[in-house]
Copies of this chain bind each other. A is one copy, B any other.
Amino acid sequence: MKIAFVGLGTMGAPMVRRLLGAGFEVTVHNRTRAKEEPLAAAGAQRAATPREAAAGAEVACTIVNDAPDVRQVVLGPDGLAEGLAPGGVVLDMSTIAPAAARDLAAELRARDLDFVDAPCSGGSEGAQRGTLSFMVGADPETLARVRPLLEAMGSSVTRVGEVGAGQLCKAVNQVIIAGTYASVAEGLALAMASGIDAEAALEAISGGAAGSWGLVHRGPNMLKGRYPLGFRARLHRKDLGIALDAAREAGVPLPLAAWVEQLETGLIRRGYGDEDVSAIARVAREAAGIDRPGVRADDDPDRT
Q: Name A residues whose Cβ lies closer than 8 Å to a Cβ of B.
A: 98, 121-123, 133-135, 137, 156, 158-161, 165, 168-169, 171-180, 182-184, 186-191, 193-197, 200-201, 203-205, 207-215, 217, 231, 243, 246-247, 250-257, 259, 287-289
Contact = CB atoms under 8 A, between A and B. Distances in A.
A57 B154 CA distance: 59
A183 to B, nearest CB: 2
Most chain B beta-carbon contacts within 10 A, residue among A190, A207, A287: A190
Contacts of A194: 98, 168, 246-247, 250, 252
Given A133-B207, A173-B208, A204-B135, A251 B186 contact: no
A172 B190 contact: yes
B247 A190 contact: yes
Nearest to A122: B208
A213 B214 contact: no
A127 to B, nearest CB: 13
A180 B179 contact: yes
A154 to B, nearest CB: 11
Given A210-B213, A211-B212, A159 B253 contact: no
Nearest to A236: B209
Contact of A211 (B204, B210, B213): B213
A176 to B, nearest CB: 4
Nearest to A123: B209
